[in-house]
């Protein structure tokens, strides 16, 4: 098999490292170049010991490659990958820089004026299951945020079927690795352990993504999204609990309605290798280290509310795994290649 050459920009964070870990088992590619400015010149295995079987030295700038993953912070990512994209290098960007279609959202949510607004329409929002054909033909893929991945997959079937009013509450619980690898008081072990907290109560940056993408499934009018993220004392995993009021008459009342709902979700995702509609409420551990998204849709019959539980590994389906899923489409590999390992349990 021909092996494509892959570069990973900013491998020294958790997402960049996870891209490398997963690609190591991918038969169709070879990692040829990895960057990380503050660690440039060091052997990869010195900085990320679990990657010591990948015999590379960290560089300041990426070398020649057929496809580049960027896990730089927002703004820096756009600055770095725009020249690559213009030269025709295929790019999967794991930052937020090409997720939003409206350039005006960047100053509002990310505090910067987008430096490359003309690239925004060319970028494809890479929530693979929902934009498969666009991803396959894209040269610049904006990989979704971890929370939006869990929430949009949970609600898309209900929105598309018009089951719910476009006013949702999404209460998400994330492991601490979602905060990245830079130490801070909030992610200091003794502070984060044995504690749960809500954060970003003034509005989290993942909100506009969710609004934009759910809006694509909703006929008529804007979508109201109340999204609140929480930090829970674990390393990996996101569980999103999604709540919306059912539109009257769209689904049978009582237990039969729950069955219909489940069938609707199963049908929506029936050919998807990574999205499973499960029969019992899932736990994040069942996705650990894998690219799975587990969905459990149900109805609170007392209050007539749709509830959907969604579980992912924030670093895999919520990051590196979905990025590789997108790469597979872009490079015409089978979509599951390199992503078939089962979840690690317990």
127-186 residues near a copy of itself, rule: CB under 8 A: 167, 169, 171, 173, 175-177, 181, 183-185
Q: How far apart are CA 259 and CA 267, in angstroms?
A: 12
Of 212, 284, 322, 328, the one binding a copy of itself by CB under 8 A = 284
Taking phi first (over 0 means left), then psi (-120 to 50 degrees means alpha), and beta for anything else, what does residue 162 get?
left
Nearer residue to a copy of itself within complex by CB, 228 or 331: 228
Q: Is 218 in the site for a copy of itself (CB under 8 A)?
A: no
- CA atoms within 13 A of residue 238's CA, in its CB half-sphere: 32
Tell me how far CA of residue 171 lies from CA of 109, 197, 199, in angstroms.
20, 12, 11
Of 232, 264, 331, 337, the one binding a copy of itself by CB under 8 A = 232
CB of 224 to a copy of itself, least distance (A): 5
Furthest-apart CA atoms within the chain: distance in Å: 64
Of 79, 104, 107, 235, the one binding a copy of itself by CB under 8 A = 235
Q: How far apart are CA 22 and CA 5, in angstroms?
A: 15
CB of 275 to a copy of itself, least distance (A): 13
Nearer residue to a copy of itself within complex by CB, 91 or 223: 223
Q: How far apart are CA 18 and CA 322, in angstroms?
A: 11
Nearer residue to a copy of itself within complex by CB, 185 or 220: 185
Q: Is 14 in the site for a copy of itself (CB under 8 A)?
A: yes
Of 203, 250, 252, 263, the one binding a copy of itself by CB under 8 A = 203
Our answer to whether residue 146 is catalytic in this structure is yes
Q: Is 272 in the site for a copy of itself (CB under 8 A)?
A: no
The DSSP 8-state label assigned to residue 48 in this structure reads S
Q: Two tokens at 80? A: 């770095």
């Amino acid at each position: 098999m021909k092996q494509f050459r892959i570069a990973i920009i900013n491998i020294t964070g958790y997402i960049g490292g996870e891209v490398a870990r997963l690609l190591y088992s991918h038969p169709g590619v070879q990692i040829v170049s990895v960057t990380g400015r503050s660690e440039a010149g060091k052997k990869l295995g010195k900085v990320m010991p679990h990657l010591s079987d990948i015999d590379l030295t960290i560089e300041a700038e990426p070398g020649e490659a057929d496809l580049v993953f960027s896990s730089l912070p927002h703004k820096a990512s756009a600055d770095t990958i725009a020249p690559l994209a213009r030269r025709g290098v295929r790019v999967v960007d794991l930052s937020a820089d090409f997720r939003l279609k409206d350039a005006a959202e960047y100053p509002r949510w990310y505090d910067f004026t987008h430096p490359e607004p003309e690239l925004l329409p060319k970028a494809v929002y890479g929530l693979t299951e929902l934009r498969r054909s666009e991803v396959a033909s894209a040269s610049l893929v904006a990989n979704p945020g971890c929370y939006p991945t869990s929430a949009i997959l949970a609600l898309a079937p209900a929105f598309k079927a018009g089951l719910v009013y476009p006013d949702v509450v999404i209460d998400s619980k994330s492991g601490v690795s979602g905060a990245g690898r830079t130490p801070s008081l909030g992610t200091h072990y003794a502070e984060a352990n044995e504690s749960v907290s809500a954060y970003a109560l003034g509005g989290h940056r993942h909100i506009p993504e969710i609004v934009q993408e759910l809006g694509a499934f909703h006929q008529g009018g804007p979508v109201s999204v109340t999204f609140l993220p929480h930090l829970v004392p674990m390393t990996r995993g996101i569980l999103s609990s999604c709540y919306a009021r059912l539109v009257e008459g769209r689904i049978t009342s009582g237990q039969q309605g729950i069955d219909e709902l489940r069938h609707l979700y199963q049908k929506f995702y029936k050919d998807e290798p990574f999205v499973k509609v499960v029969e019992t409420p899932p736990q994040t551990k069942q996705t650990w280290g894998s690219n799975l998204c587990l969905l459990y849709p149900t109805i609170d019959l007392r209050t007539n509310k749709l509830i959907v539980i969604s579980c992912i590994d924030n670093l895999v389906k919520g990051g590196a795994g979905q990025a590789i899923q997108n790469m597979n489409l872009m490079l015409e590999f089978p979509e599951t290649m390199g992503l078939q390992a089962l979840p690690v349990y317990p």
